[in-house]
Chain A
Amino acid sequence: MRSIARGTVPRRSPFTDPRIRAWVFQVLAVLAVVAFGWYLFHNTQTNLAHRGITSGFGFLNNAAGFGISQHLIDYSESDTYGRVFWVGLLNTLLVSVIGIVLATIMGFILGVGRLSSNWLIRQLATLYIEIFRNIPPLLLIFFVYFAVISPLPGPRNSLSLWDVVFVNNRGVQMPAPSAVDGFWAFWLALLVALVAVVVLNRWARARRHATGRMFPVFWTSLGLFLAIPWLMTFIAGAPFTWEVPELQRFNIRGGWVVIPELVSIVVALSVYTAAFIGETVRSGIQSVSHGQTEAAASLGLRPGQVLRLVIVPQALRVIVPPLTSQYLNLAKNSSLAAAIGYPDMVSLFAGTVLNQTGQAIETMAITMSVYLAISISISLLMNWYNKRIALIER
């Protein structure tokens, strides 16, 4: 607009001077917004006072007094609403993180599949994407929860794998390790493995830069991670015992339980988001010119290496920005968990706590700020990553 303003002949009259008009306009707009905000605030104040509704954040220190089906941190009924908040937040983050990891893996497979030289695979990937992109995620969640998991047998007739892992309509129960004396040795082993992997990576990169020779970093790292702790177990004795789930009167108790609500939401969201990520990856890969593939092939790289070393690093620059918004969508869609009773931020805090305390404004404000914070963090993280992989032009 400045260019337009500059283009027009400046006139003296204050009514038509673009600069004065802009100022007036802005002042009016700000005033209107402030007035509107004040109006809402005033209404709320009057309403709260008139109807005798308590306000303030004091309720966060009151005892909650209700149970929660899944909590990653210790929680009991006598804990406060403040702790309920953390339980809900962690549950939301859990869904988002697992969902993002799964969706990314599936999405990359789909995106590569869309461009496969194999006709059948190409068609299957297209079919998948076209089906799942066009169905509401909430419907997928309901479908998985009510039509796939609900009809599974109950705990007394669970499907079991070697009587150790159980699958039934109350989720997946599997053995959990519980630490005994000497568990520090295990942590130490893990730490040693981690250090070894980091050192190996550095060395491998330096060698590649110096000599151009590749080193199978991935497989060696995996081996190290498995071998060192295993060796330690061998020397120092098992640092933990396995707690095997057992059928009791009502439920299978003990071990780790993955509740069906979590399974439904994670499966549905990753299936849904993977379709979008697949398309993103496809267009990213297509943006890398074909000459790159040919050049890489003529250097003698195998197809897998071409993809991993040449295509994907370049495609990532195109992929990352839209990928970020898919991640954001997934994190926001995790709030749909409320619809099937998964205790996430929305169902726990904006649902139960809101209801028990009746303080709608405070709970909703907290909930929304949390999602805003999550969105902003994902954006910042991905922007940082994007900058790191961006082409450094000289």
Chain B
Amino acid sequence: MKKILTQCKKELIQFRRDRLTVALAYFLPTLAIILYGFATRLEAKNIPVTVRNYDIGFYSREYIHTLFNNGQMVSVPWSGTKDTDPLDLGKARAVIIIPPDFSRDIRNNHSASVQVLVDATDVNNARVIKNSIIATSQYFLRSGAMEQQKNLIVPQVRLWFNPGRKESLSVAPGSIAVFLWIFPCLLSTLCISREKEQGTVLQLYASSITSFELMAGKALAYLLIGISQAIVLIGSSCILFQLSFVGNGLVFALATILFLASSVCFGLLGGSRTNSQSAAVQLVATTGFTTSLLLSGFLYPQRNILFPLSLLSNILPARYYVEACRNFFVRGSGFFDQFYILVALGLAALLIFNGARKVMSKMQLSS
């Protein structure tokens, strides 16, 4: 135990010495969450759209008015030689062409057609634009003078948990999970690969410290650092995004600690597997970042992940912690509903720690 504490103390002193690392350890996650929270917009807003109106009647003007009424689209004046020029030049994301007999057809109860060209280079937004225009058209038909097409079923949609559809409420908790995975493990991976790169590890081999004591000491030190990172990160995102705590605090605190532990151990595992700092950082950053970003349910809902990958997603600690974050900040679930999260995170931390310990278990040079 004394050796573990010796090791832990040394790591903390070293960490504190390196001003740049300290600054980055707290500044980078905060910066990243600001970028994610403010800049990531999954929802489309202010989409530039050009309308070519060849009709001169009342209904076309009314229709255009409705299109731009909800603020989702903004009108961009047409310019150029062809109808589709704004699309080609990237000035508009969609061009709507209203034919000359639009108003007449509607007045005569004929079906009127409107041509909509959507820029689908961004598939996601293209779909949003398409749906939005269809919905607007239907609304226009219902609310206008056309009483003849009554809809029989009227869906009453309600948005739960995030009634104002506040984007930050969905992005911020997920980002917390992603960054609390990446940054602590980046620091811990350096602390072991640096010893290997600089040869100080020989001193450890030559002393009688065991792999368990070494790893536990390092993990403890970086867990403490990770907790302080978590406090800074969660604190700053609460202020920036006006998050409020609605879930069970105890379960969230436990989940955070277990999650940080598994992140730190993951870094140690990566560091003990590689022989240089740069290789360790690449390994940990790439695997950690891609998996936690793509497979954790942060960007895409869990159910969208296809079969073989969905298995992988289920063993990712980040997947459980994303859930824990959303429970705590958005959903407000109780203790026992989330018990499985604690079990999964605890198990992950133990397994990864054991893996790291095993890699170094010989505590000597490989022949």
Partners in one complex: no
Residues of A within 8 A of B (CB): none
Residues of B within 8 A of A (CB): none
